[in-house]
C-alpha cells in the first residue's frame, strides 16, 4: 500500500489537493499503477517526438493508449487532472457531487447547456466521462454493428470487450431498490428475465457496472495499467488546441500537435512517420478540435475567420443525444445509493433505475415537511426511460471566441423525429404500469397520520390519464433531460472512413464516441472502451502487415 501511495504523493507535490488524496477512503483498493506513467504537462520538454499522440485521456483514449504502447511510443494529452486529486469521483456516494456543484473550470465535470435548454456535462479528468458517469456496463446490440459503417471483425470485438471487462466490469448483488425495480419490470411485462448478462437483448436483466460491490469506481483510467510503461507517457493539464499539418497541400498530413500546460506554456509534440495523431477528445471535444483546426464546413469556418485546411460539410453534424425522461419518488425508508444495475429492454425503449440521497435542505417547499421525518437526507428512487438511436439529431458549431476551453454551441433537437417521441410515450406508459405493480407497494408511504398515503413524487408525476397521447407527449417534451449519451459529430462515412481515418487528411484518426451514428447498447461506455482496444489492435495488425 505504501508503494501504491508513493506515486500519488509525488504527483501531488505539484497539485494543491494533497489533503484530499490523503483522505481517500482505502487507496489500497484501487490500482494506481498508471501513475508511474503520468506527468504534469509543465514537467515535459517543450518539443518531443512520439509514434502516436492521443488527444484526450478519456474512455476510448485510455484503452487505445494502453494497446498501442504494447509496441510503440505513445503520448496521451489530457486537459484534466488525475482522479486522485478529486477522490470523490472514485466513490459511488461522492460521484454525483460534480454534476451538482459549480464548475470552476477545473472540476472533473465540465458543464454545458445545449441549445435545447437541457443542462449536460462531459468529463474533464484522466479517464474522461467514465470517471463521472453512472457506471452501467452493457455491450452493444447487433443493430449497432450492422448500421455503424465499420466492417467489424467480430472475433476481435469479442476479444476487445473481454480485455476491457477483465479490468473494469463488476457483477455485484442488486441493491434493494434495483431488485425491486427488476421484479416490478417483469411484473409489468418487460420479459423475459435474462438474469445477469453483458449482452443487450430484449427482456429485463442485471448488467455489470464499473462500480464494484463496495461502490468503488473502476473507470477507463485503470485500463492504462495494462500499458507498457516504457512506451507510455500520459500528460495531464495538457490542453491541445492546434494540430500541426504538413505544408504540402497536395497530400495533407497531421504531423503533431501543440498543447498548453497549466502555466500557459505551449509545447510541441510531433509524430514520427508512419505514426499518427488520434483524436479521442469525445463527442464534443473532437469535432470542436477539427473545426478549430480548419477541417469542417466552409461557411462555419469562414464566418469565424478560420482558414480552411480541408473542407468537409459534415464535421459537427449528426450530433445526437438520447433523451432521458424519469419519474422519481421519495422512499419511505432510507436506501443506499445505487447507480444503474438493471435494465428493461424492448424494441422501442429501455428502462433504467437508480437511487440516490438528496440533502433534505434541497427539498422543494411543498415537500419541506419531510425533513421532520428525514432530517439529514431523503432517499430518492428514480425510474427512467431512454429511446434507442435516437433518430433526431442536431449540430455543433464553435462559439464565437473559438477558444478550445469554451464549450461549442450544440443542439440535439430532442424528439424532433416523431418516432423518438412515440418511443418516449410508450416507455413512460410502461413506467406507469411498473409503478402500479405489487412489487412497488413497499415504496408507498403509509400511516404518517393519514397525511401521506401512496407515492411521494420528487418532481413531475406522470399525467393522470396515461392513455392520453397528447398529455404524454407534452410530458415527454417538458421533462426531457440528457442521458449524457451524446455522440456523433465525426460520423463514419461522412467525416471518417471505415478505419476511422479522417477523410482527406493523412495520419489523423478519430477514436471515440463522435464516430457513432447511434448510441451503442443500453449505455455506451462498454463499447467506447471496446472501440479503443479494438482500434489499437487493428492498428498494430495493420502496421505489422505493412512492415
Ligand X SMILES: *[C@@H]1O[C@H](CO)[C@@H](O)[C@H](O)[C@H]1NC(C)=O
Ligand Y SMILES: Cc1cc2nc3c(=O)[nH]c(=O)nc-3n(C[C@H](O)[C@H](O)[C@H](O)COP(=O)(O)OP(=O)(O)OC[C@H]3O[C@@H](n4cnc5c(N)ncnc54)[C@H](O)[C@@H]3O)c2cc1C
Per CB under 6 A, 21 contacts ligand Y = no
Piece in contact with ligand X (CB under 6 A), picked from 201-209, 249-257, 399-407, 463-471? 463-471
Per CB under 6 A, 468 contacts ligand X = yes
Name the residue with the smallest CB distance to ligand Y. Answer: 58
Binds 176: which of ligand Y, ligand X, none (CB < 5-8 Å by kind):
ligand X
CB of 180 to ligand Y, least distance (A): 19
Q: Are 35 and 82 in contact (CB under 8 A)?
A: yes
- Three-state DSSP class for 47? strand
Grid coordinates representing 244 are 500541426
Distances (CA, A) of 546 to 10, 194, 536, 541: 42, 44, 16, 9
What lies within 8 Å, CB to CB, of 348 at 6+ separation is 387, 388, 422, 423, 426, 427
Binds 182: which of ligand Y, ligand X, none (CB < 5-8 Å by kind):
none
Cα 462 from Cα 441, distance rounded (Å): 17
Per CB under 6 A, 340 contacts ligand Y = yes
484 is in an annotated binding site: yes
Binds 296: which of ligand X, ligand Y, none (CB < 5-8 Å by kind):
none
Phi, psi of 541 (to 5 degrees): -60, -50
* Site track for ligand Y across 154-193, x = CB under 6 A: ----------------------------------------
Cα 358 from Cα 378, distance rounded (Å): 5
Phi, psi of 377 (to 5 degrees): -150, 160
Per CB under 6 A, 179 contacts ligand X = no
Cα 330 from Cα 96, distance rounded (Å): 18
CB of 467 to ligand X, least distance (A): 4
**Which residue from 175, 239, 293, 325 is in contact with ligand Y, where contact means CB under 6 A?**
239
**Which residue shows C-alpha cell 500500500?**
1
Indicate the residue among 69 and 130 with the shorter CB distance to ligand Y: 130
**Which residue from 95, 114, 175, 341 is in contact with ligand X, where contact means CB under 6 A?**
175
Phi, psi of 478 (to 5 degrees): -75, -25
Per CB under 6 A, 414 contacts ligand Y = no
**Angle between helical axes of 418-435 and 469-478 (0-180°, round to 10):** 100
Grid coordinates representing 416 are 424532433
Cα 518 from Cα 498, distance rounded (Å): 15
Piece in contact with ligand Y (CB under 6 A), picked from 4-12, 268-276, 278-286, 467-475? 278-286
| Residues near ligand Y (CB under 6 A) | 55-60, 77-80, 99, 121-124, 128-130, 132-136, 239-240, 280-283, 285, 289, 340, 404, 484-485, 512-513, 523-526, 528
Instruction: Show binding-site residues for FAD.
Output: 78-79, 240, 484-485, 513, 524-525
Instruction: Show binding-site residues.
Output: 78-79, 240, 484-485, 513, 524-525
Amino acid at each position: 500500500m505504501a508503494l501504491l501511495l508513493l506515486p500519488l504523493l509525488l504527483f501531488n507535490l505539484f497539485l494543491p489537493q494533497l489533503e484530499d488524496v490523503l483522505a481517500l477512503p482505502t487507496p489500497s483498493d484501487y490500482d494506481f499503477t498508471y501513475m508511474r506513467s503520468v506527468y504534469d504537462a509543465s514537467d515535459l520538454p517543450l518539443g518531443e517526438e512520439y509514434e502516436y499522440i492521443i488527444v484526450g485521456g478519456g474512455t476510448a483514449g485510455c484503452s487505445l493508449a494502453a494497446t498501442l504502447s504494447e509496441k510503440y511510443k505513445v503520448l496521451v494529452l489530457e486537459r484534466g487532472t488525475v482522479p486522485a486529486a478529486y477522490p470523490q469521483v472514485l466513490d459511488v456516494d461522492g460521484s454525483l457531487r460534480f454534476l451538482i456543484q459549480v464548475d470552476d473550470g477545473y472540476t472533473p465535470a465540465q458543464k454545458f447547456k445545449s441549445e435545447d435548454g437541457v443542462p449536460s456535462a462531459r468529463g474533464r479528468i484522466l479517464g474522461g466521462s467514465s470517471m463521472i458517469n453512472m457506471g452501467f456496463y452493457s455491450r452493444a446490440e447487433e443493430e449497432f454493428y450492422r448500421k455503424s459503417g465499420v466492417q467489424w471483425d467480430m472475433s476481435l470485438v469479442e476479444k476487445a470487450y473481454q480485455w476491457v471487462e477483465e479490468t473494469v466490469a463488476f457483477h455485484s448483488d442488486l441493491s434493494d431498490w434495483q431488485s425491486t425495480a427488476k421484479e416490478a419490470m417483469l411484473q409489468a411485462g418487460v420479459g423475459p428475465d435474462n438474469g445477469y448478462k453483458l449482452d443487450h437483448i430484449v427482456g429485463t436483466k442485471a448488467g455489470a457496472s464499473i462500480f464494484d460491490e463496495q461502490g468503488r469506481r473502476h473507470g477507463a483510467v485503470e485500463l492504462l495499467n495494462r500499458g507498457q510503461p516504457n512506451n507510455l507517457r500520459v500528460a495531464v493539464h495538457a490542453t491541445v488546441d492546434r494540430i500541426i499539418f504538413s505544408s504540402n497541400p497536395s497530400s495533407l498530413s497531421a504531423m503533431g500537435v501543440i498543447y498548453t500546460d497549466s502555466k500557459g506554456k505551449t509545447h510541441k509534440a510531433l509524430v514520427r512517420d508512419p505514426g499518427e495523431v488520434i483524436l479521442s477528445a469525445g463527442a464534443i471535444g473532437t469535432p470542436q478540435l477539427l473545426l478549430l483546426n480548419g477541417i469542417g464546413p466552409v461557411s462555419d469556418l469562414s464566418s469565424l475567420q478560420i482558414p480552411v485546411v480541408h473542407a468537409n460539410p459534415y464535421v459537427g453534424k449528426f450530433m445526437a443525444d438520447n433523451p432521458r425522461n424519469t419519474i422519481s419518488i421519495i422512499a419511505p425508508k432510507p436506501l443506499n445509493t445505487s447507480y444503474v444495475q438493471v435494465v428493461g429492454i424492448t424494441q422501442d425503449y429501455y428502462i433504467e433505475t437508480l437511487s440516490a440521497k438528496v440533502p433534505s435542505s434541497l427539498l422543494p417547499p411543498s415537500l419541506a415537511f419531510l425533513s421532520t421525518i428525514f432530517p439529514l437526507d431523503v432517499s430518492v428512487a428514480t425510474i427512467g426511460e431512454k429511446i434507442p438511436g435516437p433518430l433526431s439529431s442536431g449540430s455543433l458549431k464553435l462559439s464565437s471566441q473559438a477558444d478550445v476551453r469554451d464549450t461549442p454551441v450544440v443542439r440535439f433537437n430532442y424528439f424532433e423525429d416523431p418516432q423518438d417521441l412515440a418511443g418516449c410515450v410508450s416507455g413512460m406508459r410502461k413506467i406507469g404500469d411498473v409503478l402500479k405493480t405489487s412489487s412497488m407497494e413497499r415504496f408507498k408511504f403509509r400511516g404518517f397520520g393519514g397525511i401521506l398515503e401512496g407515492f411521494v413524487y420528487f418532481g413531475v408525476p406522470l399525467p393522470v390519464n396515461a392513455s392520453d397521447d397528447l398529455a404524454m407527449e407534452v410530458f415527454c417534451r417538458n421533462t426531457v433531460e440528457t442521458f449524457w449519451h451524446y455522440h456523433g459529430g465525426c460520423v463514419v462515412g461522412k467525416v471518417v472512413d471505415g478505419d476511422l481515418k479522417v477523410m482527406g487528411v493523412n495520419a489523423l484518426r478519430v477514436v471515440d464516441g463522435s464516430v457513432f451514428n447511434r448510441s451503442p447498447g443500453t449505455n455506451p461506455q462498454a463499447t467506447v472502451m471496446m472501440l479503443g482496444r479494438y482500434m489499437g489492435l487493428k492498428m498494430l495488425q495493420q502496421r505489422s502487415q505493412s512492415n
